Amino acid sequence: MKKLLTAALLLLLLPAWAHRVDLFLAEENGSLVVWAFYPDGTPAKGAKVRILTPEGKLLLEGTTDREGKFTFSPPADAGLLKVELYAGLGHKAETTYSLKEERARPSAGVLNQTAAARPRPAGPDWQKVFCGLGWIFGLFGILSLVYGRRKGAA
């Protein structure tokens, strides 16, 4: 029984969390790299990528590889690109990428920058967790006030 309990606790404490998918883009040797992750840093493998014009015309599509990457050559005249990523089971992310703006930046074309921005498996943001817990107890506290008042009035 004790062993089971320990196993259950261990299972609870494993540091991995996700359920959202994040999308990054960078230019590398004239190609654009789309990189998709879950917030715990796991790459989103085999996710469908669609590259569209801002008007919604499909330019090309593909799937991410084992590292969660999809590389493509952007059309020469492309200005703004809309990128949609679908990681299955209702997980979707989209972003826009402006080739012109990104190229004008001093750090243009350095994929490492994106790698640095990649979310590390740091686990949940505890401040937000506590903030949420506070809201929950606050809301139910208000609800109990409302119920109490009604009972008092009746």
Q: Is 53 in the site for other proteins (CB under 8 A)?
A: no
Of 115, 119, 135, 149, which lies in the binding site for other proteins, with binding defined by CB under 8 A?
135
Maximal CA-CA distance, the chain: 74
> Which of residues 24 and 86 has its CB atom nearest to other proteins in the complex?
86
Structure tokens belonging to residue 30 = 């004239």
Q: How many residues bind other proteins (CB under 8 A)?
A: 41
Segment interacting with other proteins (CB under 8 A) among 24-32, 56-64, 107-115, 131-139: 131-139
The three-state secondary structure class of 146 is helix
Q: Which helix (H) or strand (E) holds 131?
A: helix 126-153
* 81 contacts: CB under 8 Å, gap ≥ 6: 32, 51, 52, 53, 54, 59, 74, 96, 97, 98, 99
Task: Determine whether 2 is exposed, middle or buried from the number of CB atoms within 10 Å of its CB (0-12, 13-18, 19+).
Answer: exposed
CB of 89 to other proteins, least distance (A): 6
Interface mask toward other proteins for 59-98; x: CB under 8 A: ---------------------------x-xxxxxxx----
* Contact residues: other proteins, CB under 8 A: 4-5, 7-8, 11-12, 14, 16-21, 38, 40, 42, 86, 88-94, 123-125, 128-129, 131-133, 135-137, 139-141, 143-144, 147
